[in-house]
Chains A and B, each alone.
Chain A
């Protein structure tokens, strides 16, 4: 392979490779965001259900720390979804009032979670570790004030499995596209190069006076040829031997 074909091959390789790799990377993140978004919506449904029960009882005048129906609902909801790890209902200060794991009642949410859980938004979602994610939503009393938070922790195994599967598929898709389209682009560039070099070769012959001027370059080459001839006549007239 001479140097220009090699250069054209690497041009095709990197341009197609970059386009495909970047598409793959962006698709990976897009998929992750769609998948985690749908999963978060599903968890939020559970959190909101608990919120509604708590809010209904609060609106009837019950004390936040004495809602009898909550423990049973929490336990039922936790067991219904296999990937739910724990459901906690905490007061505004982060102290847990109800929990799917009874031993956590009375303890506090991790302090580093509190800024995320209490930030003024309809919901909070974050991942404290690689294998765990948290969705939290506020419980409001009859006056619209925040009385506490439902905090649902769930495992990210499903997400990891889905991402691993998608990664395999996207890597395969990118690999096939990269290889196929690199070769296609290289073939196209080589065909163009052959055509252009053909025209330039014939033009070089014309400049050397050994062939006709190629039609594709007739205008540009014609002007230059005319000037060359005029200059040669001028120099000859000035006494320069041919």
Chain B
């Protein structure tokens, strides 16, 4: 690890540690207040129940029935316990001694007492003991929720850090670039650091300028010819502000804000839709609830091939701004929707906005990376999507509790507006003349791309199965299975969040591994990573054969997280290698558009296939069937791609 990487790693680690400590301290202080408040509230509920039972018994006093000759008191207590299982024991006490009781003794329980009217001389009272395990369960649930809050705050803070510290991090990058360029003998002027290492940057530039001056002072005939060892003049054209790190840094925050604007509503959109008048559409409540998500996914999937070429033609900056503008309008008007058709119309616009921004952001990465850095660039891209997916639904659910559904949608519009503003201020102008870009994917070009059998194999054996098992198990079967096991929907939510957190941490790490292997062994390791990732995803489904309930689901999520993080970026990077010819003629936007379209159809097919399997063979067999299917795809994929290697390798080796 170089000095610069070490310093960046140390700085990030220090900031992360302090941010985590700050969040932990805040949560710990708040936890005390939670604890002080929840106990009395649970006790108040027990009091209400106690008074209700005491009222019923008071009817017996009106008929002057002696307390010790009442019948059916235990049954009355038993019924109350059946309705409210958090009451561990209910007693009818006479002078403090139990006369009738139901339930086991619970040590350390909170006990609510209510006197029984009419039996004052017996000093009769009802004692309702709250099960200590119930209070513990509330605290455990709350603790897990607070951990979720802390994780969300941490990830959003990190995005803020990338935004605020961009200048300082860029300085380290500039110094590294200066040293690397001069170390290769490229004595060309490069941007100097502005905040950190200014003296070193100046010293390097002074030394370079002195050499350049001596070089320029020589008669042209005497000047050493530029060769592989030395370059004295910059012949690469304008670079400076358009380098990959700068572009990705400029794109990161606006893109994150646009994704977050949409993900905020994920948690409640079905409920919001179900509460709107259907406007004459005769649909079942379940269908109504699913419609906003379905139309969004369909628009996103179908628009990908068209948008790829369009984004290249009009330019990444313009198309990103267009996406942000449409998102702003779509979110603002979704918040004002008064009927389901209206909401659906704005969700269509929101889907289009999301797809436009997605294609433009992906285009920025593809335009500014080469075959060596593409995997790492795409990993950063996936990382932004995953961070938004972690934070959006969790914050959105909590904010909707406080601000309401419409308020949270309006907040999404505000985030989109901020994303638009930052994109307008920070995104660089496009590098290549937009007019020369090829048109979008037509029917013919779609057929041309799909005529590439290796591309079709990549789609059908890797991209689609990976999405089918991910969406089918993680987002469809697991939530149902967890509730079926008797656990809560919140637990399913946490498992899904765990998957997203794993992706954020592992995807860049795995991508770094791919890049390192390429550099070290001069190999193309992407197919091996995709095959291994698919195999692990398949094994994840088979993990449900383990008889450990929720822990089997946890094993599934862990294996799926590792598997998907291994394959997701190399798989996208393989498209450029497998489709070199098609990219040259149709443009990479169109080719990636087709890739994303088919991949997203896998997204839609996942829950459908899982639902059919669940209906016919039950939970466990559905998991196993999906896992076995993906494992078979992994073997076929390995058989096709591993022995022959990538076509790009041959081309590279053949090049002079």
Chain A: CB-nearest residue to B199: A204
- From A3, A12, A19, A231, name the one whose CB has the most chain B CB atoms within 10 angstroms: A19
B164 touches A45 (CB 8 A): no
Judge if A63 is at the interface, Cβ distance under 8 Å.
no
A27 touches B224 (CB 8 A): no
- A-side interface residues toward B, CB under 8 Å? 3-4, 7-8, 10-12, 14-16, 18-20, 22-24, 26-35, 38-39, 41-42, 45-46, 48-49, 73, 76-77, 80-81, 119-120, 162, 165-166, 169-170, 172-174, 176-178, 180-181, 184-185, 188-189, 192-193, 196-197, 199-201, 203-205, 207-208, 216-217, 219-221, 223-224, 226-228, 230-232, 234-235, 238-241
A45 and B156 CA atoms in complex are apart in Å by 40
Kindly state the interface size class of chain B when it binds its partner.
35 or more
Contacts of B18 in A (CB 8 A): 12, 16, 181, 184-185, 188
A176 and B26 CA atoms in complex are apart in Å by 9
> Which of B7, B167, B203 interacts with A208 by CB under 8 Å?
B203
Contacts of A34 in B (CB 8 A): 34, 38, 138, 142
Q: Given A22-B156, A185-B14, do A196 and B30 touch, yes or no (CB 8 Å)? A: no
For this complex, 10 residue pairs linking A to B, each with C-beta atoms less than 8 Å apart, are A11-B161, A22-B157, A30-B146, A31-B33, A76-B55, A170-B30, A184-B21, A192-B14, A197-B197, A227-B184
- Which residues 113-159 of B sit at the A interface, judged by CB distance below 8 A? 138, 142, 145-146, 149-150, 152-154, 156-157
The interface bits of chain B over 38-74 (1 if a CB of A lies within 8 angstroms of the residue's CB, else 0) are: 1001101100110110010000000000000000000
Contacts of A173 in B (CB 8 A): 25-26, 29-30
Contacts of A178 in B (CB 8 A): 22
A72 and B177 CA atoms in complex are apart in Å by 84
B200 touches A200 (CB 8 A): yes
13 more CB-based (< 8 A) A-B contacts, given A30-B145, A234-B224:
A15-B157, A18-B160, A19-B22, A19-B153, A29-B399, A30-B142, A42-B48, A49-B52, A188-B14, A224-B183, A227-B184, A230-B230, A235-B218
Contacts of A11 in B (CB 8 A): 161, 164-165, 168
Chain B: CB-nearest residue to A31: B34
A227 touches B197 (CB 8 A): no
Judge if B443 is at the interface, Cβ distance under 8 Å.
no
> Which of B22, B38, B222 interacts with A38 by CB under 8 Å?
B38
Contacts of B19 in A (CB 8 A): 15-16, 19, 181, 185
**Shortest beta-carbon distance from B205 to chain A in Å:** 10
Q: Given A26-B152, A30-B145, A240-B214, do A177 and B398 touch, yes or no (CB 8 Å)? A: no
Judge if B614 is at the interface, Cβ distance under 8 Å.
no
Judge if B187 is at the interface, Cβ distance under 8 Å.
yes
A48 and B182 CA atoms in complex are apart in Å by 79
Judge if B185 is at the interface, Cβ distance under 8 Å.
yes
**Shortest beta-carbon distance from A97 to chain B in Å:** 21
Contacts of B157 in A (CB 8 A): 15, 18-19, 22
B23 touches A19 (CB 8 A): yes
A184 and B283 CA atoms in complex are apart in Å by 57
Judge if B11 is at the interface, Cβ distance under 8 Å.
yes
A184 and B18 CA atoms in complex are apart in Å by 8
Contacts of A174 in B (CB 8 A): 26
A7 and B168 CA atoms in complex are apart in Å by 9
A48 touches B197 (CB 8 A): no
A28 and B222 CA atoms in complex are apart in Å by 74
Chain A: CB-nearest residue to B159: A18
Shortest 9 CB-CB contacts between residues of A and residues of B: A223-B183, A173-B29, A181-B22, A19-B157, A204-B203, A207-B203, A38-B41, A224-B182, A29-B402
Judge if B229 is at the interface, Cβ distance under 8 Å.
yes
> Which of B11, B27, B230, B402 interacts with A231 by CB under 8 Å?
B230
**Shortest beta-carbon distance from B62 to chain A in Å:** 11
B156 touches A200 (CB 8 A): no
**Shortest beta-carbon distance from A29 to chain B in Å:** 4
A80 and B184 CA atoms in complex are apart in Å by 85
Q: Given A18-B157, A31-B37, do A42 and B45 touch, yes or no (CB 8 Å)? A: yes
Q: Given A28-B402, A35-B37, do A19 and B218 touch, yes or no (CB 8 Å)? A: no
